[in-house]
């Protein structure tokens, strides 16, 4: 009979909360998660879960081996924090100046550790194995840690048939899960444009090529890409988030730098927007006798769920949390490094509701006052563990 883990996380609830709070107090930015990695290894070792480490420098792979032969399911959590100064006032606020777990990766890590404990407790009779994948550098777009972990051979010995990941979500209350087949997050490309004009005195603009004016025209031109070059039934965002130009009020700028991001769901839309971006930037600059130097980073791919495994998440969540636990949701154009795993392995990425029911306002991801309702931690760990178990049995039945 398939093991049922509902309520079993209660035995580990305090330990999961404690681990989350410890990680929250000592956050580490992308690529520097050495203490976080050590804490994960210690917690796996305490329960006799074997692991290997060093993938993408700080990544960890735990392996829970069932007693019966079968397939392999991977569960992934990201472990890095953000360079944000925390402005909360709870008892476990970050002790690291300018660094904060403002995206919930502390909770992801703690819940995956807890899920590993739960699966390890019922490994007798389990068909196959569960991989516990702790990934660094999720926030380090466009490089990220997923691709490097795979290059470093994280799946060399055990190749998963299915892979899952969850992300805390302040738009949903604790006890609800957001999942859908198809796109969940978008591509997250980045760009930098440096416009070179000719500087001079503000009183003699006819002797100059004003880089600020050129930049203004470039920005205006780029705002037509989504409205005039993208199919209205498709989604795309092109945002200029940063401008640097000029040195003095009475000097015409020789140089202007623009930085921003392009977000899409499909590869066809991405390539269309990228092509028009280059054409407009180059064309506008040339028409105004300036030059434009473009640096373009292809970021994370879209995170696209395999429909059958998104449905598995939905069914497991409803069994654990009730028939109303999986409301309809829309995808997001936020970027997510987990999409790289889904290019090679089928699986699903889903949202774990963590909003406080009595909060006067919702603090979004990457906010300096972001926090979660810790009541979501136990069901989040149980859901990951039960999802792995249900998937192994579903794979066995095929």
The edge-to-edge listing of strands for the beta sheet with 236-245 is 236-245, 255-264, 189-196, 291-297
Query: In angstroms, rounded to a whole number, what is the distance separating the alpha carbons of residues 179 and 230?
Result: 26
Q: Which of 28, 80, 86, 373 is catalytic?
A: 80
Q: Where are the beta strands (DSSP E) in 215-268?
A: 236-245, 251-252, 255-264
DSSP-derived pairing of the beta strands 68-78 and 127-135: parallel
Cα radius of gyration rounded to whole Å, the chain:
24
Q: Which of 78, 86, 106, 138 is catalytic?
A: 138
| Residue 330 annotated as catalytic | no
Residue 334: closest CA among 250, 285, 266, 261: 261
How far is C-alpha 246 from the chain's CA centre? 35
Residue 55: closest CA among 341, 306, 298, 302: 341
Query: In angstroms, rounded to a whole number, what is the distance separating the alpha carbons of residues 30 and 224?
Result: 35
Query: In angstroms, rounded to a whole number, what is the distance separating the alpha carbons of residues 82 and 280?
Result: 33
DSSP annotation string for 342-365: HHHS-EEEEEEEEE-TT-SSPPPT
Contacts of 115 (CB under 8 A, 6+ apart): 75, 132, 381, 382, 384, 385, 388
Query: What token pair was written down for 237?
Result: 């965002």
Q: Which residues make beta-bridge pairs with 74?
A: 131, 163
Query: In angstroms, rounded to a whole number, what is the distance separating the alpha carbons of residues 49 and 384?
Result: 16
Query: In angstroms, rounded to a whole number, what is the distance separating the alpha carbons of residues 191 and 261?
Result: 6
Contact predicate 173/185, CB 8 Å: no
| Residue 138 annotated as catalytic | yes
Contact predicate 342/185, CB 8 Å: no
Query: What token pair was written down for 265?
Result: 């769901």
Contact predicate 376/168, CB 8 Å: yes
Q: Which residues make beta-bridge pairs with 257?
A: 194, 244
Catalytic residues: 80, 138
């Amino acid at each position: 009979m398939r093991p049922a883990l509902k309520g079993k996380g209660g035995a580990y609830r305090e330990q999961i909360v404690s681990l989350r709070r410890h990680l929250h107090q000592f956050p580490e930015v992308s690529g520097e998660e050495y203490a976080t990695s050590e804490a994960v290894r210690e917690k796996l070792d305490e329960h006799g879960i074997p692991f290997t480490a060093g993938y993408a420098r700080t990544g960890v792979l735990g392996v829970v081996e069932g007693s019966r032969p079968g397939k392999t399911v991977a569960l992934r959590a990201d472990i890095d924090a953000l360079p944000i100064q925390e402005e909360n006032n709870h008892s476990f606020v970050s002790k690291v100046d300018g660094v904060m777990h403002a995206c919930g990766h502390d909770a992801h890590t703690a819940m995956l550790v807890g899920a590993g404990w739960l699966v390890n407790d019922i490994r007798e009779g389990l068909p196959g194995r569960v991989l516990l994948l702790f990934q660094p550098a999720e926030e380090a777009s466009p490089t990220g840690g997923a691709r490097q972990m795979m290059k470093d051979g994280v799946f060399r010995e055990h190749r998963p048939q299915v892979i899952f990941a969850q992300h805390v979500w302040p738009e949903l209350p604790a006890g609800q899960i957001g999942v859908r087949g198809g796109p969940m997050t978008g591509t997250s490309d980045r760009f930098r444009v440096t416009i070179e004009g000719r500087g001079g005195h503000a009183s003699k603009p006819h002797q100059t090529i004003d880089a600020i004016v050129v930049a203004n025209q470039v920005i205006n031109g780029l705002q037509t890409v989504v409205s005039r070059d993208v199919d209205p039934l498709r989604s795309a965002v092109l945002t200029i988030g940063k401008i640097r130009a000029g040195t003095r009020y009475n000097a015409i700028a020789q140089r202007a730098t623009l930085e921003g991001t392009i977000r899409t769901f499909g590869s066809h839309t991405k390539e269309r927007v990228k092509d028009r971006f280059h054409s407009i930037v180059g064309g506008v600059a040339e028409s105004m006798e300036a030059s434009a130097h473009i640096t373009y980073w292809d970021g994370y791919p879209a995170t696209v769920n395999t429909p059958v495994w998104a449905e598995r998440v939905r069914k497991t969540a409803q069994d654990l949390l009730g028939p109303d636990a999986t409301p309809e949701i829309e995808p997001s154009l936020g970027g997510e490094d987990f999409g790289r795993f889904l290019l090679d392995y089928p699986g699903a990425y889903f949202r774990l509701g963590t909003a406080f029911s009595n909060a006067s306002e919702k603090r979004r991801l990457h906010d300096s006052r972001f926090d979660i309702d810790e009541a979501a931690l136990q069901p989040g760990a149980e859901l990951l563990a039960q999802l792995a178990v249900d998937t192994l049995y579903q794979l066995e039945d095929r």
